[in-house]
Structure 1
């Protein structure tokens, strides 16, 4: 499998991603959200995709969940795909009782944390099956075994510094604006799907 990002790396990357998403106003909810909702929520879910690996940080603590998932899908399978994000959101909206009041910014923070893990694993040589069950692996192998975890830590800290600096120091970015529009469209389509299922 090659280089695997550490739990520390995923935690740092999720914090940097949360800071970037809020400062870049990636969605209206994140733009006006509470830091104390967004960052803890991102940290809460940033290790969740590795539940498919019994030797991972979460896998060792939740073996009764990890082992069946590992047998069914293997490591970096279903849980490292966009389908998993969609399935988790659908399950949340359809199964979580209405009495569970979770702020919108916290929910988006949880999605952000999960996605940050997927993006971080894309930076390793093994890549991820983003479009699972399609087996194509998407990768941008910046992190390699020979470079060790020091590069991983440096990359996360650099991303954090840039996330803090970027929004105040750069003009409006077309890529960020396009990403925000795409997220809004996907959110609308998802809400329509959920509302149809509830009706």
Structure 2
């Protein structure tokens, strides 16, 4: 059998409380939606195995509390992230206006080696609410913000109905893969000392 190449990719989801971060993650990983989610306390994560071409990798998706008192989770939480997903509610101007703060907070805490080119993805969630009639942030405004930040990919989703969720996370996975290639783990059929050292030094023990 050929050696399998497997990569662990860490994805952080940030945004104000109530924008649907937990719902998006659960819709993508479990294909489920619930109105009963309680506010996330601190942080939680789900994993999903994804295959691109001959590559098998695990997305480790971290969901964060949107309340400001939990923003001090700090370096350990942000460290090693391969992609950051910023989420806002298209029916809430406040959640959109908070995006700059979330982005800056991430760059400060994560301290990526190349902050100018670190992959972000923006999601405008809850497009299903009131048939779109209560929407207050336009697609044009969101895309302009993305353009001002280096052409961040943008998706409009409904976690409730599953609209565009799969497409958004496929883009997230691809962007994470680009930045996470240096942390690839090789899992050959026989383990030798060199491979074990490589695994220990890969920085993937998240």
TM-score > 0.5, shorter chain as reference: no
Q: TM-score, normalised by structure 1?
A: 0.35
Q: TM-score, normalised by structure 2?
A: 0.34
Larger strand proportion of the pair: 2
Larger helix proportion of the pair: 1
